[in-house]
Each structure stands twice: as structure tokens, then as C-alpha cells.
Amino acid sequence: MKASEDDIVSAVENMSAADRIRVEKYARLRVNLLAKFAKGRTHEDLIQESMTRIFAGDRSWKKDNVDFLRFFIWVMKSVSNHWTKEKDAKVEILSWEENPVTIQPKRNNPVGAHHTADQLAKVEIADSIEALYEKLVDDDEAILVFDELRIGKKGPEIQSSLGLSAKEYDTIRKRLFRKLRK
Amino acid sequence: MDKSENYLEEIENISDAYEDVLLAMTDDEIEQEVLSEEGNPHQVAENVLEFMNSSIKRLRKNRLSKARQLYEDKSKKQTTEFSLNLTRKQKEDLLLNIIANNPQVGNALTIQHREFHNMSEQDLDDLLADLDALNLLKKSDDKP
């Protein structure tokens, strides 16, 4: 059953302190991972925009199927994913950083504008990846686990390929996420 | 798949892995982790509630504003209907009729309100609108 506005308000008010911390940690990590794609937004922006989207009816919570925490994490993921599709904003920001004369899209040349946006997206990606690796500098173990997670490998597979015990993997993984959140 | 899609897919992989970690940790472990990073778990939780509450406050403000608008529209409509359909004499007769049929209304009205001839046309309309909201006009509809 789709939750009402009152259900959502009640779920927020009754959320445990630990779940609120989970929300904060996830939001911080997500914004840091998106790096330049977040376009200066913070974890606070992500939480507030997610709430706004829920109340606007853009994201529905089927409360019988999933608890509010999982639902809210999904909304944060969805909202921040939407940021990466804001091509106009992307061009605007990068055109300011690069060269406003040559990069500004022209209204009469949509193909040229699209091409420019793609080129700029590559710059954003390179910068974003670099920003993430900078957070892990001098921590080779964390970089190795990060590289495995990036390609979608799961815990047991990573432990096996890197020859780590469950405890070692857990320690490195916690350290990795802590650094990525900062 | 272009570079951009690859990168975004990698972000999803890392986010999903972290979501699994967060959901697997106990509440105590979550709070201990904040403490180990020299943070204050209570403050972090309060901040998140505050971010979320700002949206809830906006929602409540919008609801209140809509309800107020609805009430004002309804009052205006009722006032307009009385103004259009009845003469001043008919309005005064209607009020007298309501009071005769509902003594408690007469007791509730102030002396000033019982002297209808001293009231402005607008006040008379507003009083009738209020009585209508209390469903007191229906019993007297056919009498004036």
C-alpha cells in the first residue's frame, strides 16, 4: 500500500538515531562519489531534495514492501542519479571553468552543443575519479578493494582474489568507506 | 557503453556495497563508528532530523495555506450568495428566524449582534455565513 504524507512524517519522526546516522553516512558517500557531478551540492542538499521529491509525489513509498530507511536510501540514490543527467547544468558549469567562448552551446547548433557536453563530461569523469583516488592516497589495500568494488565484485569474491580473511576484508572495507565519506 | 555510463555504473556498485555494509552494522556499531571518528552520534542524528524536518515544515505550511484559502473561498462564496439573493430586510428576518428556532444562538450572540439594524451589510453577510457553516440556515431556508 502506498504511504500517505502522514505515514511519511510519522516514519521520519520515529526513525532511530542509528538510522538517521545511516542516512547521513550514505548521503555523504554518495555526494563524494559523484564528485563533480554533484555540482557543489552537499549531503544536506541530497537529504532535503529527497524529502522534497517524496512529498511532491515523485517517489512513492510502498510501506508494506520495504522499511522507510531502505526506501529513503533508494530515493537518495535516484535523486543523485538524476543530477548526473543535468546536461545543461553540466555545460554551464564547465563552460565557465574552461572557455566560455568556445564551449557555450549554440541554440542553432544542437549537435555541436551535444558534442561539447560529451567532451565536458569526460573532463568531469576524469576529475571525479582523481578526486576519489586522492582520498585513498597512501592506502594501497583500500585502493585494491576499491578497484574490486568498482567493477561490481562482492565480498567473498574480493577476499578470494586478494587473499584476505573475512576480518581483514572487513577492516579494510570500513577504512575505505570512511575515507571516501570524508 | 560510453565512459560516462561506465563511471556511473561503478558509482552504483560502490554505493550498493556501502548500503549493504550500513544495513549489516548494528545500531551500536554505527554509533561507535561515529565516536571513533571523533563525532557526536547524537548531534549527527539531530542534524539529519533537522534536514528532514525542514521539508516537513514546508509541507505543513503548504497544507495550512491551502486550508486557509479553501476556507476563505468558501466564506466568500457564501457571502456572495447571500448578498445576491436576499435584501437586507430578508437577511434580518432570516436571522430573527434562526434565533427564534435556536435560542442557544440568541444567547451566544452579543447585544451588538442582536441589533441587526446597526450592523453593516458585510457583517450581516459574515454572520449568516458563519451560521450556515454551523448548518443552522438549512432549518430556516423556507421561512424568510
pLDDT tens for B9-58 read 888 999 999 999 999 999 999 999 999 988 899 999 999 999 999 888 88
CA separation for the pair B58, A118 (Å, rounded): 37
Task: Give the ipTM.
Answer: 0.78
A52 and A119 fall within a common domain: no
Closest to B134 (Cα-Cα) out of B75, B64, B90: B75
Higher pLDDT, A171 or A108: A171
Q: For the residues of chain B, what is the DSSP string, one character each?
A: --HHHHHHHHHHHHHHHHHHHHHHS-HHHHHHHHHHTT--HHHHHHHHHHHHHHHHHHHHHHHHHHHHHHHHHHHHHHHHHHHHH--HHHHHHHHHHHHHH-HHHHHHS-HHHH-GGGS-HHHHHHHHHHHHHTT-SGGGTT--
Say whether A151 and B13 touch across the interface (CB within 8 A): yes
Does A170 have pLDDT greater than 80?
A: yes
Q: What is the dihedral of CA A135, A137, A142, A145, to 10 degrees?
A: 90
Does A113 have pLDDT greater than 60?
A: no
pLDDT at residue number B1: 52
Helix residue ranges per DSSP H, A16-165: 17-34, 43-55, 68-83, 87-97, 100-103, 110-135, 140-150, 155-162
Say whether A128 and B7 touch across the interface (CB within 8 A): yes
A101 and A166 fall within a common domain: yes
Q: Which domain holds residue A31?
A: 5-83
Q: Which domain holds residue B105?
A: 71-140
A153 and A92 fall within a common domain: yes
The model carries a pTM of: 0.67
CA separation for the pair A52, B54 (Å, rounded): 9
Q: Which of A50, A83, A116 is the last residue in one of the domains?
A: A83
Phi-psi region of A39 (alpha: psi -120 to 50; beta: other; left: phi over 0): left
Instruction: Kindly report the backbone phi and psi dihedral angles of residue A118, in degrees, each rounded to the nearest multiple of 5, phi listed first.
Output: -65, -45
Contact residues, chain B, for A178 at CB < 8 Å: 33, 37
Q: Which of A27, A53, A83 is the last residue in one of the domains?
A: A83
| A20, A48, A54 member nearest B49 (Cβ) | A20
Please state the domain count of chain A. Answer: 2
CA distance A101 to chain B (A): 25
A128 and A158 fall within a common domain: yes
| B4, B14, B59 member nearest A5 (Cβ) | B59
Amino acid at A155: G
Confidence of residue A47 (pLDDT cuts 50, 70, 90): very high
A78 and A124 fall within a common domain: no
8 A C-beta contact, residue B129 and residue B82: yes
SS3 call for A62: strand
pLDDT at residue number B30: 94
Please state the domain count of chain B. Answer: 1
**Nearest residue in chain A measured CA to CA from B56:** A9
Say whether A18 and B27 touch across the interface (CB within 8 A): yes
Q: Which residue has the cell 522499511?
A: A67
Q: Which residue has the cell 531502505?
A: A70
A10 and A39 fall within a common domain: yes
**Nearest residue in chain B measured CA to CA from A151:** B10
Read off the C-alpha cell for B14: 560502490
| A47, A81, A150 member nearest B51 (Cβ) | A47
Instruction: Give the residue-averaged pLDDT of A82-93.
Output: 63
A55 and A91 fall within a common domain: no
**Nearest residue in chain B measured CA to CA from A34:** B11
Share of chain A above pLDDT 70, in %: 81
Say whether A55 and B13 touch across the interface (CB within 8 A): no
Read off the C-alpha cell for B44: 549527527
Amino acid at A161: S
Q: Which of A83, A111, A143 is the last residue in one of the domains?
A: A83
pLDDT at residue number B73: 78
DSSP label at residue A163: T
CA separation for the pair B8, A177 (Å, rounded): 18
CA separation for the pair A80, A75 (Å, rounded): 8
- Residues whose CB falls within 8 Å of the CB of residue A52, separated by 6 or more in sequence, listed in order: B55, B58
Instruction: Give the residue-averaged pLDDT of A42-49.
Output: 94
| A12, A33, A77 member nearest B52 (Cβ) | A12
**Nearest residue in chain B measured CA to CA from A18:** B27
